[in-house]
Structure 1
Amino acid sequence: MSMTFVNITATVSSLASIQTDLHTSTTTLVWVTSAYALAVAGLTLCAGTVGDLIGRRTVFLIGTAVLGAGSLICFFAGDATGVIVGEAVMGVGGAFVLPNSLTVVSASFADPHRRTEAISIWVGFSGVGLAAGPLIAGVLLAHFSWHSVFLVNAAISALVLIVTPFFVVNSRHLGRRIDIPGVLLATVSVVALTYGVIQGSHVGYTDGRIIVAWGIFLAGLGAFVVVERRSGDPMLDVHLFRSASFSTTMAVGLAAMFGFGGVPLIMVLYFERVQGASALNTGWRLLPTLAVYVLVSVVAARLVARVGFKVMLSAGLVVTAIGAVCLLATPAGASYGAVWPGMVIFGLGEGLVLAPTTAAAVTSVAHERAGMASAAVNMFRQLGNVLGTSIIGSLLTSNFAHILPQRLISAGVSAPVADRVAAAAGHGGTAPAPKGPEGIAIQHAVARAFTDSVHKGLIVTAVVLLIVAIPAALFIAGRRPSQQS
Structure 2
Amino acid sequence: MNATTSTDLSHAAPVRRATGRDWAALAVLTLAVVLLAIDGTVLSLAVPALTADLDPSATQLLWIGDVYSFALAGLLVTMGNVADRVGRKRLLMIGSVGFAVASVLAALAPTAETLIVARALLGLTAATLMPSTLSIIRNVFEDARQRTTAIAVWSAGAMGGAAVGPLVGGYLLEHFWWGSVFLINVPVMVVLVVAGAFLIPESRNPRPGPFDPLSAVLSMLSIVPVVYAVKQLAGHGPGWDVAVAALVGIASGLAFVRRQRSLSTPLVDVALFRNAAFSGAVVTNLVASFALSGLLFFFSQYLQLVRGYGPLEAGIREMPVTIASIAVIGFVGVVVARLGRGRAIGAGMGAAGIGLVGLAFAEGSPDYLWIALSLVLVGLGLGIGSTLTTDAVMASVPRERAGAASSISETAYELGVALGIALLGSLQTVFYRANLDLTSPLPADVEAQVTDSLASASRALGSSTAPGAGEALAHAQEAFTHAMQLTSGVAALLLLGAAAIAWRVIPSPRTAPTVEH
Query: Which whole-Å CA distance do the structure 2 matches of 1:264 and 1:466 have between them?
Result: 19
Query: Which whole-Å CA distance do the structure 2 matches of 1:32 and 1:458 have between them?
Result: 28
Q: Which amino acid aligns with 1:295?
A: A
Task: Name the structure 1 match of 2:80.
Answer: 48
Match of 1:267 among 273, 281, 299: 299
Contact kept, 8 Å, 2:33 with 2:154, in 1: the verdict is no
- C-alpha distance 388-79 of structure 1, shift in aligned 2 (>3 A): farther
Contact kept, 8 Å, 1:45 with 1:372, in 2: the verdict is yes
Query: Which whole-Å CA distance do the structure 2 matches of 1:85 and 1:429 have between them?
Result: 32
Task: Name the structure 1 match of 2:494.
Answer: 464
By how many angstroms is 1:289 displaced? 0.4
Q: Which amino acid aligns with 1:184?
A: V
Contact kept, 8 Å, 1:105 with 1:118, in 2: the verdict is yes
- C-alpha distance 453-91 of structure 1, shift in aligned 2 (>3 A): farther
Task: Name the structure 1 match of 2:124.
Answer: 92
Match of 1:2 among 31, 36, 41: 31
Match of 2:447 among 407, 410, 418: 418
By how many angstroms is 1:56 displaced? 0.8
- C-alpha distance 389-202 of structure 1, shift in aligned 2 (>3 A): closer
- C-alpha distance 122-475 of structure 1, shift in aligned 2 (>3 A): same
Task: Name the structure 1 match of 2:382.
Answer: 350
The answer to whether structure 1 residue 181 and structure 2 residue 221 are counterparts is no
Query: Which whole-Å CA distance do the structure 2 matches of 1:336 and 1:28 have between them?
Result: 38
Q: Which amino acid aligns with 2:361?
A: A
Q: Greater CA deviation, 429-438 or 152-161?
A: 429-438
Match of 1:473 among 481, 492, 503: 503
Task: Name the structure 2 match of 1:360.
Answer: 392
Query: Which whole-Å CA distance do the structure 2 matches of 1:360 and 1:217 have between them?
Result: 28
Q: How does 1:222-237 map to 2 (within 5 A)?
A: 222-237=254-269
Contact kept, 8 Å, 2:78 with 2:219, in 1: the verdict is no
Q: Which amino acid aligns with 1:15?
A: S
Task: Name the structure 1 match of 2:234.
Answer: 201
Q: Which amino acid aligns with 2:507?
A: A
By how many angstroms is 1:480 displaced? 4.2
Q: TM-score, normalised by structure 2?
A: 0.84
By how many angstroms is 1:353 displaced? 0.4
Task: Name the structure 2 match of 1:389.
Answer: 421
By how many angstroms is 1:349 displaced? 0.9
Contact kept, 8 Å, 1:131 with 1:291, in 2: the verdict is no
Task: Name the structure 2 match of 1:192.
Answer: 225
By how many angstroms is 1:122 displaced? 2.4
Query: Which whole-Å CA distance do the structure 1 matches of 2:77 and 2:257 have between them?
Result: 14
Q: What is the RMSD of the two structures over their aligned residues, measured on CA atoms? A: 2.9
Query: Which whole-Å CA distance do the structure 2 matches of 1:288 and 1:25 have between them?
Result: 37
- C-alpha distance 114-375 of structure 1, shift in aligned 2 (>3 A): same
- C-alpha distance 397-313 of structure 1, shift in aligned 2 (>3 A): same
The answer to whether structure 1 residue 113 and structure 2 residue 145 are counterparts is yes
- C-alpha distance 6-467 of structure 1, shift in aligned 2 (>3 A): same
Contact kept, 8 Å, 1:99 with 1:375, in 2: the verdict is yes
Query: Which whole-Å CA distance do the structure 2 matches of 1:81 and 1:345 have between them?
Result: 42
Task: Name the structure 1 match of 2:281.
Answer: 249
- C-alpha distance 344-142 of structure 1, shift in aligned 2 (>3 A): same
Q: Greater CA deviation, 149-158 or 368-377?
A: 368-377
Task: Name the structure 1 match of 2:474.
Answer: 444
Query: Which whole-Å CA distance do the structure 2 matches of 1:273 and 1:335 have between them?
Result: 16
Match of 1:76 among 103, 108, 113: 108
Contact kept, 8 Å, 1:16 with 1:428, in 2: the verdict is no
Query: Which whole-Å CA distance do the structure 2 matches of 1:123 and 1:410 have between them?
Result: 47
Identity over aligned pairs, percent: 29
Query: Which whole-Å CA distance do the structure 1 matches of 2:421 and 2:379 have between them?
Result: 17
Contact kept, 8 Å, 2:96 with 2:125, in 1: the verdict is yes
Match of 2:184 among 132, 147, 152: 152
- C-alpha distance 336-364 of structure 1, shift in aligned 2 (>3 A): same
Contact kept, 8 Å, 1:275 with 1:333, in 2: the verdict is no
Query: Which whole-Å CA distance do the structure 2 matches of 1:425 and 1:78 have between them?
Result: 31
Q: Which amino acid aligns with 2:498?
A: V
The answer to whether structure 1 residue 18 and structure 2 residue 50 are counterparts is no
Task: Name the structure 2 match of 1:290.
Answer: 322
For structure 2, the residue ranges without an aligned partner over 5 or more in a row are: 1-29
Query: Which whole-Å CA distance do the structure 1 matches of 2:69 and 2:337 have between them?
Result: 31
Query: Which whole-Å CA distance do the structure 1 matches of 2:285 and 2:145 have between them?
Result: 20
Contact kept, 8 Å, 1:308 with 1:479, in 2: the verdict is yes
For structure 1, the residue ranges without an aligned partner over 5 or more in a row are: none
1:132-156 Cα distance to aligned partner (Å, 9 max, x none)? 4333222212212332121111221
Query: Which whole-Å CA distance do the structure 2 matches of 1:265 and 1:357 have between them?
Result: 23
By how many angstroms is 1:333 displaced? 8.7
Query: Which whole-Å CA distance do the structure 2 matches of 1:434 and 1:108 have between them?
Result: 60
Contact kept, 8 Å, 2:454 with 2:477, in 1: the verdict is no
2:175 match: secondary structure: coil
By how many angstroms is 1:188 displaced? 1.4
By how many angstroms is 1:303 displaced? 1.9
Query: Which whole-Å CA distance do the structure 2 matches of 1:85 and 1:452 have between them?
Result: 39
Q: Which amino acid aligns with 2:465?
A: K
Query: Which whole-Å CA distance do the structure 2 matches of 1:11 and 1:118 have between them?
Result: 23
By how many angstroms is 1:467 displaced? 2.1
Q: Which amino acid aligns with 2:51?
A: L
Query: Which whole-Å CA distance do the structure 1 matches of 2:374 and 2:60 have between them?
Result: 29
How many residues get paired?
481
- C-alpha distance 440-325 of structure 1, shift in aligned 2 (>3 A): same
By how many angstroms is 1:88 displaced? 3.3
Q: TM-score, normalised by structure 1?
A: 0.89
1:367-410 Cα distance to aligned partner (Å, 9 max, x none)? 3333322222122122212211222234335654x458x53x33
2:266 match: secondary structure: coil
- C-alpha distance 272-426 of structure 1, shift in aligned 2 (>3 A): closer
Contact kept, 8 Å, 1:7 with 1:133, in 2: the verdict is no
Contact kept, 8 Å, 2:67 with 2:123, in 1: the verdict is yes
Q: Which amino acid aligns with 2:333?
A: A
Q: How does 1:295-314 map to 2 (within 5 A)?
A: 295-314=327-346
2:502 match: secondary structure: helix
Contact kept, 8 Å, 2:100 with 2:186, in 1: the verdict is yes
Contact kept, 8 Å, 1:38 with 1:383, in 2: the verdict is no
